[in-house]
Structure formats: C-alpha cells, structure tokens
Structure 1
Amino acid sequence: MCSHQDRVGGAARNRRRLRALAGRRPRARRRRGQPVPLRRERAVTAPVVALRDVGFRRNGRQILEDVTLEVRAGEHWALLGPNGAGKSTILGFCGAVTHPSAGTVEVLGERLGRVELAALRRRIGHVNPRHPLDSPLSVREVALTGITSTIELPMRWVAAPDEIERADAVLEQLGLSPIAESRWPTLSQGERGRTLIARALLSDPALLLLDEPSTGLDVAAREQLLETVDALERTHPDLASILVTHHLEELPETTTHAVLVAHGRITASGPVAEVVTSEAVSAAFEHPIDVEHRDGRWSARARRRRAVAL
C-alpha cells in the first residue's frame, strides 16, 4: 500500500502535469483531402508618422515647405541637416507638439487638429537631453514618470507593484539596475541619457523620438548610449524611432532610413545607404564632405583641398 506521503507527492505531480497540459493548445487536425491553408501575409499597416506636403510659417517667415515623410513600424530614421535647417520643427510635428501651417500630419493614425493631443502624446516616447528636472529623483523614479507623462512624480501618486516591476525590467534591459537608486543630480550626462530612454519606454510607445541625445557626451558615454539605442531593435522590434543629429558619428548602427534637410526643405530621403552619401551630404551642408561607412558606423570629414603649386 502507498503511504500518505506517496499519495501527497503523487497528487502534487498530477497538479503540475495538469497545469502544464492546460497551457498547451490542441493541434488542429486536417481532414484527409482538405487543402492546406495558405500562410497569411503580414497586413500592411498604416504609417506610424505621415507628413504630407507640410509647410510651417512663424512670424511671417517660412520655416518649412513641401515636407513629405512616412515612417513605419520597426523603422529607425535619422533626421540630418545643418543648424537652422528645420529638423526640430519636423520633430515637433512627429511628437504632436507643433501644428503645420499647411499640409497634413498624422501620428499613430491620428491627424493633428482632430485628436486630443495629451492622449496622443502619452503614446510617444520623447528623449530630450535638456530634460527640465530639478528634484533629486532616483533613476527608478525618473523612469516611472514615463507612466505618468510628467516631469516630476505627481503628488499622492503611488506606483503599483506591477508598474515598479516594469520599471525594473526596463532598467535591467538598459544596464541601469546597478544605479537604480542613484539620484538625478549625481548622474553623469550619459547615465541621464540612458535613464531618459528608460523613461520613454515605460509608456510602451509605438514611436520613440530622440532629440540630439548625444549632446554633451564624451566619446565613451556616446558609445554606451548608442549601444542602448541599437539594443532596442532586439528588445522592441516593432518600435519606430526618429533620431535628430547633425553629426554622422552619432548614427546608431541600426539606422534604416535617413532624411536630409536644408533651408526648410527635404533634399534627400530614403534608405540610409542611399541618402547618406558624400554627394547628398555635401549638398545639404553646402560644403564638400567625404562620407565613410565602415563596420556599421558612419563618419564625415571636410574634403581636403589640394595645395596649388606655385
């Protein structure tokens, strides 16, 4: 006869087996002669961002004209151009912050002017190195403000246990767990940049905007930040991103597309290898520039002028 201990152990094994079986989906059987179902093609989804014939005027001055751009899920765009070209204004459209003077802007399927902006902005992650935080929040607390869409933690707001777990999971993904309790004023500029990426991801965005995220970073901190951005292709494969910079060295390896802007107009747009060329970059910056692509990274330097022999 089985002892009481054996019966208890057997019952426990049975419960574990039943739980395992309950999680399995039964395999659908195909009757003999029934045709094999065709594999469904992935549905073509609407663009994450769609700017069509967009223009923008400020104080009677034309800032942008005839800007057309489409960004789709999983694409990573670089917005390049000299200072004053209009890059920040275009990013303002993508972040549902700026309204166009002409044309249409659709973000996450919603047309600006026909949508409640606060709700739309909560679905967009925005990384701005000039983040105006004054309080000594911890890295974890800064990340949690991505859920509340605020700069400071709201009064009387307490994060739920699952929200804290989400925050800690994102911090771990970005290699920030060891400094989760560190305070904002004590962080290096590179640590702040990575913390702001964690903050942006906590809102579970479909679109991530990075506004010159390498500003003020030394070489090592810049490389750590770019490694963090590159990792998003693996951890968030459907996330679309737009990164603004005027330095080709700051382009992540995972950049798929690029836009060159000069004097308020798009001068080139498309797959990054077709746009980031010596000819196109020289035309946008109005200076002879040699562009090089090696080991997945881009670099640029002014073309040397040959000395004239006397």
Structure 2
Amino acid sequence: MEEVIRLEQVSYRRGDNELLRNIDWTVNKGEHWAVLGLNGSGKTTILNMITGYIWPTQGQVSVLGELYGTVDLREMRKQIGWVSSSLQEKLYTNDKTQNIVISGKHASIGLYEKITEEDADQAVSLMRQLGCGHLVDRSYQTCSQGEKQKLLIARALMASPKLLILDEATNGLDFISREALLASIQQLAARPDSPTILYVTHHIEEIVPFLNRTILIRRGEIFDQGASAEVLRGDTLSAFFETPVELQWHNDRAWITAP
C-alpha cells in the first residue's frame, strides 16, 4: 500500500517542554483521516512537522514517499494543500474570488503573473465543484465565512496537491454553513482524483463518513488511532476526554453528550 505520511518515533521539544512524544503514525493512499484533539494537544505541531516548517527533536518524517532531510521542502510543499482560517487574514480582501483561487497555483498572496485562460477555467471549475461557482467576479471581502472557506479549499486544489490538510476548517461557521461545507468536502473526497485528506478538528460531530480513519491526540501523544468506527466509542472517548460522555450514531456520524 502506498504511504502518504509516515511519522516514526517522532518527538518534539521546545526548551523544557516536550510538545510531542513518540508519535508513530502512517497514512496510506485511499485513507482520509480525522485528527482529533483539544486545544493545545499537539495537532498543529504535527501539521507543521508534516509540512516541514519545524523539525523533530528525534524520529523521522516521510511524506509522499520522501524522507525529510533528503528532499527540497519547497518542492514538497507544492504537493501539499493547507487550508486554515488564519490564511483568510493574509489574503487581499479586494481581490476577485477567482483570482484568490488562481493564486493557489503559485502559492502566493495575490497574483503577480499573467492569468492564462486555462488557469481561469480551472478556477471556475473548482469553484463550481465546491458549490461556490456563483461567486465568480465577486470581491473576496463580500463573501460569507463559509463561502470564504470553500474558496480557500478551491485555492488549495489549484496546484493539484496529493495531500490536503483542512485545519479547523469550520471555525466561525454557523450550523447551516458548517454542514454545507462538510457536504462539499465529502463530495470532493468521493472524486477518483481526490487528494488524501487530513481533517483537523476538536468536534466529534464533524467526523463525517468519508473520514474512514481517526487519530486521537492528547498532551502530545497518540491516545488511539484506527478505523473511525472502532476509535469513536463511548468508553474510548470518555477516557480520552477524562470525563463521562455518551455517544450516539446518526447518519453514520458520532455525536456525544454529557450524561
């Protein structure tokens, strides 16, 4: 089976603080993973390691078959799409929506190269696939939070990445907008050319059916990992959150409540 990510005995220390400890994690092609953990659990540290922005204190990181330390990370990052709500703050709000999407091909903030007809057509096609084709020619600042997130995903897909990281993608969205975004991501995952998706969250109910694997991160360590249906159990999650929770399944999604 083709490996997309392999972390082997990865630890990360900043000063006296050990932020990650003995992380062993393999993501194979054809899998889509939910990365679940509370704030401060180490999720973002792992993402920064996968994208090569920080280096493990010990252990090895391989992405898309390449061992970090033996490969040009600038070239590697062209194959990784990363969507986070913090990216919204860096974009030029007066830009047209399709230009925001096209900028993803060059991994730039703003466009500094001539737009080709092919790039323009691809951007509009991606926007339509994600349910935001009606936003063409709108300025980015006039879009809703949910529409902006869809545009950022389209932007990440412009470079045809092999790995797509969605980091707290529904932050700031209301229930309706969240469900619409999750439905769009699920449609993306169903495409035969879909990249491997890592969906990072701290909300159980956002683990929709296409996320067939789940990893639980707590205090810089892996608490559990495996098939989502096996990891998302009431007893496992009660131990993970260190408080009793009740779990129910509805439409192939797990929902938890406090008893």
Range into which the TM-score falls when normalised by the shorter chain: over 0.9
| 2-structure distance, mates of 1:95, 1:282 | 31
Residue of structure 1 equivalent to 2:108: 150
TM-score normalised to structure 1 length = 0.80
Q: Does 1:219 align with 2:175?
A: yes
SS at match of 1:115: coil
Q: Does 1:174 align with 2:163?
A: no
Residue of structure 2 equivalent to 1:88: 44
List per-residue Cα deviations over 1:197-243 (Å, max 9, x = no partner). 10111110110001000100000100110001100122244521111
Q: CA deviation at 1:97?
A: 2.2
Of 211-220 and 162-171, more deviation after overlay is shown by 162-171
TM-score normalised to structure 2 length = 0.95
Residue of structure 2 equivalent to 1:74: 30
- Within 5 Å, give how 1:133-212 maps onto structure 2: 133-154=91-112, 157-212=113-168
Equivalent pair of 2:7/2:23 in contact (CA under 8 Å): yes
Q: Does 1:121 align with 2:77?
A: yes
The partner residue of 1:257 within 190, 213, 220 is 213
Q: CA deviation at 1:87?
A: 0.9
The partner residue of 1:294 within 235, 242, 250 is 250
Task: Describe the shift of the 1:236–1:199 C-alpha distance in structure 2 as closer, same or farther (beyond 3 A).
Answer: farther
Larger radius of gyration: 1
| 2-structure distance, mates of 1:295, 1:225 | 17
What residue ranges of structure 1 are gaps of 5+ in the alignment? 1-43, 305-310
| 1-structure distance, mates of 2:30, 2:246 | 29
Q: Does 1:49 align with 2:5?
A: yes
Aligned residues: 257
Equivalent pair of 1:210/1:241 in contact (CA under 8 Å): yes
List per-residue Cα deviations over 1:255-298 (Å, max 9, x = no partner). 10000111111010011011111112122211111122211222
Task: Describe the shift of the 1:95–1:292 C-alpha distance in structure 2 as closer, same or farther (beyond 3 A).
Answer: farther
Q: Sequence identity of aligned pairs in percent?
A: 34
| CA RMSD in angstroms, aligned pairs only | 1.3
- Within 5 Å, give how 1:7-86 maps onto structure 2: 44-45=1-2, 47-86=3-42
Of 291-300 and 216-225, more deviation after overlay is shown by 291-300
Q: CA deviation at 1:184?
A: 1.2
SS at match of 1:75: coil
| 2-structure distance, mates of 1:99, 1:296 | 37
| 2-structure distance, mates of 1:84, 1:255 | 22
Equivalent pair of 1:51/1:106 in contact (CA under 8 Å): yes
What residue ranges of structure 2 are gaps of 5+ in the alignment? none
| 2-structure distance, mates of 1:52, 1:293 | 33
Query: Taking CA–CA contacts closer than 8 Å with sequence separation of 6 or more, which of the two structures ends up with the larger relative contact order?
Result: 2
SS at match of 1:299: strand
Equivalent pair of 1:289/1:300 in contact (CA under 8 Å): yes
SS at match of 1:199: helix
- Bigger fraction of residues in strand: 2
